[in-house]
Amino acid sequence: MAGRGRGSDQGEDATIGVSERSLFAAPLLAPLPPPSPLVPIPGNPPLQADVSAPGPVAEAGRIVRVRRQIGLISLPRLRHSVATAAGLELDRGVAFLLVPVCLAIGAIGYFSLAAEPDFAKPVAVVVLTGLCAFVSRSWPKTHLCFMAALLCTLGLLAGKVETWRAGTQMLGSEISTQVTGRVVSLDRMETGRIRLTIDVTSTARPKLRYAPERVRLSARKIPAEITAGSLVTGYAKLLPPTGPVRPDSYDFSFDSYFAGIGGSGFFLGNPKLVAGDDNDMPLSARLASGIENAREAIADHIRGSVGGAEGEIAAALIVGVRAGIPDEINEAMRRTGIYHIISISGLHMALVAGTIMMLMRSSFALFPDFSARRPVKKYAAAAALFSIAAYLVISGIVVAAERSFIMLAVMLIAVLFDRAALTMRNLAISAIAVIVVSPHEVVGPSFQMSFAATAALVGAYAGWSDHRAGKTRPPPPRRSLPGFLTRKFLLAMGGLAMTSIIAGSATALFAIWHFQRVSPLSLFANLAIMPIVSVVMFLAVASALLMPFGFDGPSLYLMGKGLTAMIAISGWISERSPVDAVGLISQQSVLLVAIALVIATMATTWLRLAALPFALAGMLTVSDTRPPDVLISEDARLVALPIGDGELAVSRARPNEFTVDNWKRALTSETIVMPEVFSKGDGQFEIADAAELPPGAPFYCTSGVCLAKHPSGAIIAHVEDRNDAWKACSLADLIIINDATAYDPCHDPLVLVITKRQLARKGSAAVFFDRQSATTPATISFAVDRPYRPWHTQRKFSREARGLPPYRKPEKPVASSAQ
């Protein structure tokens, strides 16, 4: 029995280690080498390349052989080779791997539409393509094309269904009102403020006719009794979700819509606790409140045990509460490329699952008789699956953790059913699940970067396994203990370096496209920090297991020391890291690189060479985009333009920090130049002197007008009141009026006038100057297109979009003195 048990266990290990390609290759095709355009068509004479010249003429014979092979390439032979390779790819299951790709294309197509379609159109297209796919079953190539089209339309329909299902009612205009609602979650910010997510039950003074169902409000202080599930009330200022800070940047309205957040803002005083009956809460809300309170209690316990910034990071790693991490530490980790450590995602899930499996296998090894008779690997996989499910729940079920859980769950379930765990097929299943559940994630950086990195790593691992499988290796020489440990250390560091290089290369363009930044020293930072993170996550798992028994003190203490080392290393590397802002890149370059990545990771034959032209084209078109000459915020309060030497001139002395930081990275600027303000009539600067401004000078402000000259010679005017706008008509090329009631006072086609009402309707703007054109010297691009999609519909209801001035309370009538 023991012998049979060991044999079965070895067989299980062997099955799980089998290469994915051998599982899907046809038996007759398996021994054949990969097809190539140089392979002759069956029935034709063989190539004269098999006779090797002996002796000193061998090298010359090889050269002649290569020349003959190149000369024998013809279109029929190439077509036959492509067909043979494609058939082998289909036999190996590449069609299934392309299912999530087609679904993602459909979802991206839906979110890129200029107008919102009704349900009838995507449903009709799905039915039509489904019928065509059914009818074309007798023609394999045509059938594959229609199946791809069907999957694309299903992805589009999934996006439409999710948009309809979300249906978030969003606040249209800024307003102050009494908000009463039930707390969903609360986060303690690094600034000391507390951010509450509240399900609104009622509003008053004034009562909102179209109140959002969920809002996010911050407060300076809250009563200690307030927890998740508490009923609170307070007078608050509500703000509608904002749009992109510049065209083609991250859309906060889009994110808020699918997160169910209809508005944000802050309490004008401290919120108060309202007595209420918890029995009125639905079961799901009570369960969610209980989990949230448990998370907050664990986070407080960790903060109290570890303390400082290390305690905040430890709370983020264990329960996903990261609002309290200091900004300077966040920025240091971003600059060094290790910020992915903070966000609970695939790395943390994998470390938790690996730690649990290692602990379980080590424990089972203490009982050899039991291990020999039972499938202990499956037991360990089941325990790991349960652990990451609990980790997902206690971490708050954020989208990144949810996606990582699906990926790892598929792999662990594959182990339970004696299938290969780390395969492209399992990754495809995970991607399908995420796209079906949350199609909007496809257009976000988290989905794109995580699946790109994972696909690249799995593809590289599979290719390396195939390469090693075809070679015979001599038995390793006997080494001393120091030599053995040195070799293992070098192999581990080499594997970590290759992992960082592969994942970083696969995600670099996506990171630049979304964040306009790259981490030049990320490889060194990951090599230095990832061993520490592995130990820290092991201690985090141990702390979670020991916490219910009160024995987690030593593990939390050691975890804090490891995090201290991590913070010190990341800060040291960050100080020596060059500027990470790289500016804007073209959208077509990202698309071309994504196509190259799909081909390179999914193809198993010489067809993977088709990725090279796409990758090369993507690299060559990276800089095929023009940065804007002027950027304008959607509230018309801030204007900025690059003035050379890495400087960005802004029109306000206290600009919005987040907006300016984004603009700096997009325009590769390092320094912010504040405006110079002159009082009226001081004789130092007048509006008429704008023509004499030197190009590249900062904004000069006087009498409600700020003027600057772009390096191209164009003059920009930022005006606060419509009554002052005419002053700039005779000298400015671009006028921005921070007044919703304003109109074009110049009536000159050579002067571009942008009003606050336009920006309220269409979002932030980018302006491009063309000094060569006599008719259109300036063109403008807005962030939001019309007609509005559901996540932008609220824009047309704001006071500014309707051309109304800011709301002012009516003055109280003065009592008559005669009385």
Distances (CA, A) of 395 to 193, 223, 349, 429: 21, 25, 11, 23
CB distance 220 to 270 below 8 Å:
yes
With bands split at pLDDT 50, 70 and 90, how would you rate the model's confidence at 728?
Answer: confident
Give the residue-averaged pLDDT of 41-53.
45
314-328 pLDDT tens trace: 998 888 888 889 989
d(CA 88, CA 497): 33
Predicted local confidence at residue 755, as pLDDT: 94
Q: Mapped to the 3 state alphabet, what secondary structure does 559-604 carry? A: HHHHHHHHHHHHHHHHHHCCCCECCCCCHHHHHHHHHHHHHHHHCC
Per-residue pLDDT at 670:
86
Measure the CA–CA gap between 252 and 241, rounded to whole angstroms: 7
Is the pLDDT score of 162 beyond 50? yes
- H-state helical runs in 307-423: 308-319, 327-335, 346-365, 368-373, 376-394, 399-416
Give the pLDDT band of residue 27 (cuts 50, 70, 90).
Answer: very low
Mean pLDDT check: name the lowest of 4-18, 64-78, 457-471, 717-731.
4-18
402 close to 447: Cβ distance less than 8 angstroms: no
- Is 190 in contact with 324 (CB distance < 8 Å)? yes
The pLDDT, as a whole number, for residue 454 is 86
Task: Name residue 799's amino acid.
Answer: R
How far apart are the C-alpha atoms of 354 and 783, rounded to whole Å?
44
Q: Measure the CA angle with vertex 87, ends 86 and 91; round to 5°.
A: 115
- Euclidean distance between CA atoms 637 and 491, whole angstroms: 56
- pLDDT at position 618 is 92
Among candidates 26, 28, 42, 29, which has minimal Cα distance to 81? 42
pLDDT digits (tens, 9 = 90+) for 575-602: 888 777 788 999 999 999 999 999 999 9
> Which amino acid makes up residue 54?
P
Q: What domains can be seen in the chain, in order of their start residue?
A: 98-166 (no CATH), 175-281 (2.40.50.140), 297-468+520-576 (no CATH), 630-797 (no CATH)
What order of strands is seen across the sheet that includes strand 734-737?
676-677, 700-702, 705-709, 715-719, 734-737, 752-755
Whether the predicted pLDDT of 43 surpasses 60: no
Helix (H) or strand (E) run with residue 668 in it: none
pLDDT at 449 over 70: yes
Whole-number pLDDT of residue 646? 87
**109 vs 393, more confident:** 109
End-to-end Cα separation, the chain, in angstroms: 110
What's the whole-model pTM score?
0.84
Across 276-287, average pLDDT? 78
pLDDT per residue as tens digits for the range 764-813: 999 999 867 656 678 999 999 889 999 999 999 999 999 988 877 666 66
Q: 2 or 697, which is more confident?
A: 697
Which pLDDT band, with edges at 50, 70 and 90, does 505 fall under? confident
Rounded to an integer, what distance in angstroms lies between the CA atom of residue 461 and that of residue 455? 10
Task: Quote the pLDDT of residue 344.
Answer: 73
Q: For residues 674 and 47, give the distance between their C-alpha atoms in angstroms, rounded to a whole number.
A: 73
pLDDT at residue 2, rounded to an integer: 40
What tokens appear for 737 in the block? 């009026």
Task: Supply the DSSP string of 257-269, one letter for each residue.
Answer: HHHT--EEEEESS
Give the CA count within 13 Å in the CB-facing half-sphere of 45.
4
Half-sphere exposure of 374 (CA within 13 A, CB side): 13
pLDDT score for 18:
42
What is the average pLDDT score of the chain? 84
pLDDT at 30: 42
Of the pLDDT bands very low, low, confident and very high (cuts 50, 70, 90), residue 302 is very high
| Measured CA distances, 241 to 13, 106, 262, 477 (Å) | 52, 27, 7, 65
- Rg, Å, the chain Cα set: 31
Is 255 a residue whose pLDDT tops 90?
yes
Per-residue pLDDT at 52 exceeds 60: no
CA distance 346 to 788: 35
DSSP code for 191: T
- How would you classify the pairing of strands 765-769 and 752-755? unpaired
User: Are the beta carbons of 515 and 445 closer than 8 angstroms?
Assistant: yes
pLDDT at 67 over 60: no
Residues in the chain: 819
* Rounded average pLDDT over 742-749: 89
pLDDT for the residue numbered 478: 75
> Is residue 8 very low, low, confident or very high in pLDDT (cuts 50, 70, 90)?
very low
What single-letter amino acid sits at 529? I
Any residues with CB less than 8 A from the CB of 608 and at least 6 apart, and which?
599, 600
**Could you tell me if residue 766 is left (phi over 0), alpha (psi between -120 and 50 degrees) or otherwise beta?**
beta
**Tokens, residue 608:** 């993977």
Q: Tell whether the torsion through CA atoms of 55, 60, 66 and 71 is positive or negative.
A: negative
Q: What is the pLDDT of residue 674?
A: 92
Residue 143: predicted pLDDT: 93
Q: How far apart are CA 71 and CA 81, in angstroms?
A: 16
Among 354-358, 398-402, 639-643, the minimum mean pLDDT is found in 398-402
